Every structure is written in C-alpha cells, then in structure tokens.
Structure 1
Amino acid sequence: MRGFLLSFRSEFYKTRKTLGFWGSIILPLAITALAFVAVYTKSDKFVKMPPMMLWAQFSMISLGSMGTLLLPIYTIFVAYSVNNVEHKSDTWKTLFSLPISRWAVYGAKYFYAFFLLFICMALFTLLNIGFGNLLSFVKPELKFNEFHMELQLMQVFYKLLLSALGILSIQFLLSLLWPDFLKPMGLGFVATVVGAILASNQWEYSYLFPYSHPMGAMRSMIKQHGGPSDHFEIDIYTKDVYVSLAIAAIVFVAGYFIVQKRSVK
C-alpha cells in the first residue's frame, strides 16, 4: 500500500502542469459557465418554465455535450496523458526498476487517471448545482430555487463516470503499450465515432460496445414508471453500466499481466 501511495503522489507531481490535469478543472468550468451565460442572456425564453423543466434544460447543456463525444474523448486523452509523461521522458525502465512492485506502479497510474475523471465529473455536478442556484439569485424570475435536483444530478454524473470506465481501461492499456500519439488516440477517436453512431441509431447490441456506453447511459437514465409529473428517478445500474464495469475490470487485470510479462521500453 505504501508503494501505491508513493506512486500515486508521484503521478500528481508529474502531471500537475499538464493539460490532462487542468482539463479536469477547465472543461467542467467552461461548459457550465457557458450554460449559465446562455440561460442568463435568454432568460425570457425560460421564465415561464416550471422549476423542474428549468433544471432539466440547464443541466442538459452539460449532460448533452458530455454524454455524446466530450466524455469519451476526454477519457481517451486522460489515459494518454498519464502514460505519455513516461514515454516522453523515456523513464519506463527506471520506473519499473524502483523498489516498488509493478502492481503498485501500474495500479497507481490507472487510479490516478480514474481520479482525474472523477474530479471532472464531481466538478460538473457541483458547478451545475452552484450555477443553477446562482441563476435563481441573479434572475429571481427563474425559479430554480423552487425545485431541488441535486440528488438526480449527482446520480447522472455518477452514472456517466461508471459508463466511461470501460473506455478508460482500454485506452490506458493502449497508451501504455504504444508510445506514439497516433495509435491509441486515433483508434480511440474512431471507436468513439462508431460508438456514437451505434448508440444514436439505438442498435440493440450497442451496449456491448464500450465506446457507446456514455451515450447509452444518457438514453437509459430515467426509470420508466408512473408517478407525479414533478418527480423522476435516475436508473444508475443499467446494462450498459454493468458491461462497462465488467470490461474495465477484465482489461485492467489483463493489462497488468501484459505489462508484467512484457519488457516496457
């Protein structure tokens, strides 16, 4: 455990000035700020909406962008940036020759990539809640304060995080084994486009393709049952999320054995 913690802390110091690290902060801040400006400047179009619909319209600006292309692309970039630090400085052999187990090094790198993804999703949640409540203060006619959607927003972004784990595991392994930019990133981008096409066309087996999971998670997020019109529940553990978790676990463990047996340059 000590080796894991030392490696994890080392990842922070190595990446704290990279775009991968700052992207986890800048991306949610930029998108939610744009959503705030859009609703603020067009408030006359939203003033007659009931509070629940106001929250839905406001949050879908962030959720729509993240659930289609931005989340898979950011996940691909995070996986690449964490491993690119070692590729660029040619320190893989040095890293694996340290008196720390390969499992600790490999696990720390992976969970640091997951940590960046978690920070990004957590900030999206907090900033959506914060900016929504700020709108009710600066534009009192927008009655955001009359409906509480905090729990649902946390559940949706949590579901999106889970849906991206299969992509993270695959891209983490590819970027670890291939030092160049084109192979892991290029394959990831192509797979993301294919996944978006499969999910948008609602192919019945799209849930088996990990790069379609974020969009699939968005489509399956509302529990289908009767109830009051001002109440809805988020269905977190749908089949696309379960497949994402299974792929993430299998590829993560397989990746360790591949790295253990392979001479990493």
Structure 2
Amino acid sequence: MMLLQLLAVERLKIRRKAIWPLIAAGGFGVVLLQAANYALRYDYLMKLNADNPWGHMLSEMHFLAVPSLIMGLAIIASMIAGVEHATNSWKQTLALPLSRLSVYAAKFVLLMGLMFAACTMLAVGTVVLGLCLSLGTDIPYTELLRVSYLPLLAALPIGAVQLWLSVSLANQAIPLTVGVLGTVVSMFGMTLGDFVPYKWPMLDNQWNEPLIPAALGLTVGLLIYVAGSVHFVRKDVK
C-alpha cells in the first residue's frame, strides 16, 4: 500500500515534466521512422521481403527501437530523480515517515512502468503500421511481443544503473552523458560480446536464443537495483 501511495506521489511530481510526450515520442517515433522508410522504398521492400513482410518490418523496428530504449531510460530516470535535486527537497522527502527502500522502489517502478508504456505504444503502432502497409492480417504476435518487450527486460541493468546515478548525483549531466554513450554503444551491439549488457537488448547471441539476454538482464538488473537501494539507504542526504 505504501508503494502505491508513493507511486501516486511520484506521478504528481512529474506531472509538469512533459514525460508523457517523451514516452509517446519514443514509442511512436520509431514507428514513424519505419513509416518513412517504407514510404520511400515501399515497392522495393515489399518485393525484397515478399516471403516474410511482417518479419522484416519487425526486425528493422527492433533495430531502431533499441537505441531509443537506452536513451529513454537515461532521460526518464534523470527526470524522475531530478525533481528532488532541482528543488533541494531530498531532506524533506526523507524526513517523512517513509522507508528509504520504498522511496527508491517507487522511482524504479515508475521508471520501468513508463518504459513499459513506451514499449506498448511501439507494439500498437507497429500493428497499425503493418496493416496500413498491407502486410497482411496474419500478424506474428509472438514475434511482436518478443521485439516489443524482451528488450526492456534485457535493458533492466542499464535502467538500474541510470536511476542509481541520477538519484546519487545532483549534476544530471553525468548520468545523461552515460546514457548518450550507452546509446551509441548499443548501436554497435551486434559486434559486442554476448556478456556485454549493452548488447543484450538486441537479443542476439551465439545460441540464437532471445530469452537468454532477457534472463540475464532481469537477473543482473535486480542485483544492481538492490545495490542501488542499499547505497541510497546508507547515503547521507544534503
């Protein structure tokens, strides 16, 4: 119950931060990029991928969505944590009869919930785009869900690190710089080793099993979240 109340409070704090337009830009923006790609090369792409038009579009959508996901985690984490930093209100927040663990958990849940919403927008937009492009009504829902949501699980360690940095550092330029660098690295994810976290959202590995990076992301992400929580509990607030 306390966590739900804290989530409500966190939503009120970010109400004027224009986070939802950013979430929509992340989710639907990828769809618009793919729409532009097909608008310019529709006949060529349809002929080239006549045997599996949905599979091709989902593959390209996934490649475009991963950098957006990494950057989105950095920006949203910074905006969520930046409220207290901007108003110097950490002492007031933590002076309330609230568990520090609950405060940190609320911010983490909010971050992942907002990114889940972006992934849902991506999934819905992808279906709408595919139907508009006449790719057929035989939509591969399993592949759609894999491309839309597994990268978020695989990126959990990145989100946990971004929130940890954003909460710990008053200067939000540092976590945002880490986010930008991580986004650039993720664009070359296919060339990285299988155990590099920035490759995991690509869901590519030598075993050709997308569940492996998702499982790794979930496990490592929770460990980093716990470490961040412990640090937050012990941290002196100024």
TM-score by length of 1: 0.80
In the comparison of the two structures, how many residue pairs are matched?
Answer: 238
Residue 242 of structure 1: aligned partner? 215
Are residues 1:17 and 2:16 paired? yes
Equivalent residue letter for 1:161: L
- CA deviations 1:17-48 (Å, max 9, x no partner) are 32443211122212212322432453322443
Are residues 1:64 and 2:63 paired? yes
* 8 Å contact from structure 1 (residues 80, 185) kept in 2: yes
For residues 187 and 43 of structure 1, what CA distance do their matches in structure 2 show?
Answer: 37
For residues 237 and 59 of structure 1, what CA distance do their matches in structure 2 show?
Answer: 17
> Could you tell me how far 1:57 is from its partner in structure 2?
3.0
For residues 88 and 142 of structure 2, what CA distance do their matches in structure 1 show?
Answer: 45
Equivalent residue letter for 1:257: V
For residues 177 and 91 of structure 1, what CA distance do their matches in structure 2 show?
Answer: 14
Are residues 1:157 and 2:148 paired? yes
Paired residue secondary structure (1:84): helix
- CA deviations 1:182-240 (Å, max 9, x no partner) are 2222233334444554x3324xxx3333223223x1x249x86xxxxxxxxxx4411x3
Are residues 1:201 and 2:191 paired? yes
Q: Which runs of 5+ in 1 are unaligned?
A: 137-143, 225-234
Q: Which runs of 5+ in 2 are unaligned?
A: none
* 8 Å contact from structure 1 (residues 31, 62) kept in 2: yes
Equivalent residue letter for 1:177: S
Are residues 1:173 and 2:173 paired? no
Residue 139 of structure 1: aligned partner? none
- Alpha-carbon distance change, 58 to 249 in structure 1, aligned in 2, over 3 angstroms: same
Equivalent residue letter for 1:200: M
For residues 5 and 21 of structure 1, what CA distance do their matches in structure 2 show?
Answer: 20
For residues 52 and 168 of structure 1, what CA distance do their matches in structure 2 show?
Answer: 37
Residue 106 of structure 1: aligned partner? 104
* 8 Å contact from structure 1 (residues 51, 147) kept in 2: no
Residue 115 of structure 1: aligned partner? 113
- CA deviations 1:49-70 (Å, max 9, x no partner) are 5655221333334211123x22
Structure (1 or 2) with the larger CA radius of gyration: 1
Counting only pairs closer than 5 Å after superposition, residues 1-265 of structure 1 correspond to structure 2 as 2-48=1-47, 53-67=52-66, 69-136=67-134, 144-194=135-185, 196-197=187-188, 199-202=189-192, 206-215=193-202, 217=203, 219-220=204-205, 235-238=209-212, 240-265=213-238
Equivalent residue letter for 1:84: G
* 8 Å contact from structure 1 (residues 159, 241) kept in 2: yes
For residues 186 and 121 of structure 2, what CA distance do their matches in structure 1 show?
Answer: 25
Deviating more after overlay: 173-182 vs 22-31: 22-31
Identity over aligned pairs, percent? 23
For residues 75 and 124 of structure 1, what CA distance do their matches in structure 2 show?
Answer: 15
Equivalent residue letter for 1:11: E
Deviating more after overlay: 162-171 vs 149-158: 149-158
For residues 20 and 218 of structure 2, what CA distance do their matches in structure 1 show?
Answer: 24
CA RMSD of the aligned region, Å? 2.3
For residues 149 and 51 of structure 2, what CA distance do their matches in structure 1 show?
Answer: 20
TM-score by length of 2: 0.89
- Alpha-carbon distance change, 41 to 212 in structure 1, aligned in 2, over 3 angstroms: closer
- CA deviations 1:91-147 (Å, max 9, x no partner) are 1111111122222211111100010111111111111012211222xxxxxxx2253
For residues 169 and 241 of structure 1, what CA distance do their matches in structure 2 show?
Answer: 15
